[in-house]
Amino acid sequence: MNHQWIYDVFINFRGDDSRNSLVSHLYAALSNARINTFLDDEKLHKGSELQPQLLRAIQGSQICLVVFSENYSRSSWCLLELEKIMENRGTHGQIVIPIFYHIDPAIVRRQLGNFGKALEITAKKMQSKREKQKLLLQTWKSALSQATNLSGWDVTSSRNESELVQKIVEEVLAKLDNTFMPLPEHTVGLESRVEKMVPWIENNSTKVCMIGIWGMGGLGKTTAAKAIYNQIHRKFVYRSFIENIRETCERDSKGGWHICLQQQLLSDLLKTKEKIHNIASGTIAIKKMLSAKKVLIVLDDVTKVEQVKALYESRKWFGAGSVLIVTSRDAHILKSLQVDHVYPVNEMDQKESLELFSWHAFRQASPRADFSELSSSVIKYCGGLPLAAEVIGSYLYGRTREEWTSVLSKLEIIPDHHVQEKLRISYDGLSDVLEYLSS
């Protein structure tokens, strides 16, 4: 079972050294990037053991930033936290990033000079609170050595601190990649497709915003929705992306898809596995959970209005700033849902089609010179569909001119619109075309 993260980041630091400088700047930058960060509170430093709230925060943080400074080893709390952080790194796979704040990494790694002396004194002070002070000292030394051997950042007086903070935030965002929806390696034309959608959403951020993405199968509606999601999802604590709703409903012909969709929505929003026994209880649970919260929900490949209504009955359930995105092949469904705006996803133009086709057929942005004319002839049968350009391009990769010519002759036998109609239907249609080309 995957470990459930409560926070994105936990910051371990010595308050006297860095709370009002680096750490405050870092915390502000992380918060501005919508990164859920736990900042240690000195009120939680009581007794000789870590308080339950601190333990929970450490264990529930996907990334731990450890800020080493001159007086770090004078704090038993810093060291106790570090001990637990390195322990969790081994058991839960936490990511640990060391930051050396005006201190030589070698001094921390090898516990040299005043840093090493302070470490021994701190361990000795804990002797009356822990039976084996020598064992405690070795545990802390081991944790320090392990942490400092990891890739991190060195903050010196000669470095621009604000630039460094931004680089740390960028690294954190990159490592939190499990919250991003995967996109194809080559997203030709995608930027132009979504560049108008995100500003529109941001300009309507004070209300519940609902947009529809409409187009035939294979045009890239899902990819466009994922790209939008990746750009804005950090602004939402509660978010869900439900893919392939058409497929889910067709797979469950007895009607259990209602509960299936409800369970996925609740599981995504609550970050726990939810069990729903009937549609009515699911509806009540969703309404109670939403309770005017700001959410981001993407419903992909909707074929019936009922599929959306199974998840919410009214926009009043959502809080201000919520964004709902629905993709569908049927414009009438989007109209029935009374979306605020419909974005049509159109076919790629010839230039875009040729580039995407080339990435799959030649592993480069344009055709090989000796295949240029053949490539131009083939892509006209793709009908501007990204999926068709990808699949047929991949099919032709590494094949000889004779094989290309054979494929082209087979495509020429049937009218363009028949090929494109097949390609628009589904992946099954693509399989039929490939089977025909291979015959």
Q: Which residues are catalytic?
A: 81
What's the rounded Cα separation, in Å, for the pair 357 and 191? 17
What's the rounded Cα separation, in Å, for the pair 13 and 415? 69
Token pair belonging to 278? 């009937």
Q: Which residues contact 353 (CB under 8 A, 6 or more apart)?
A: 379, 382, 384, 389
CA of 356: how far to CAs of 11, 360, 400, in Å? 43, 7, 20
Q: Can you say whether the dihedral through the CA atoms of 251, 255, 256, 260 is positive or negative?
A: positive
**Greatest CA span in the chain, whole angstroms?**
89
Dihedral angle of Cα 315, 238, 257, 316, to the nearest 10 degrees: -10
Strands ordered across the beta sheet of 295-299: 238-242, 295-299, 323-328, 209-214, 341-344
Question: CA nearest 11: which of 27, 25, 28, 33?
Answer: 27
Q: Which residues contact 331 (CB under 8 A, 6 or more apart)?
A: 212, 214, 342
DSSP label at residue 19: I
Question: CA nearest 116: which of 146, 79, 133, 141?
Answer: 141
Token pair belonging to 112? 């040299």
- Only one residue has tokens 């020429």, namely 412
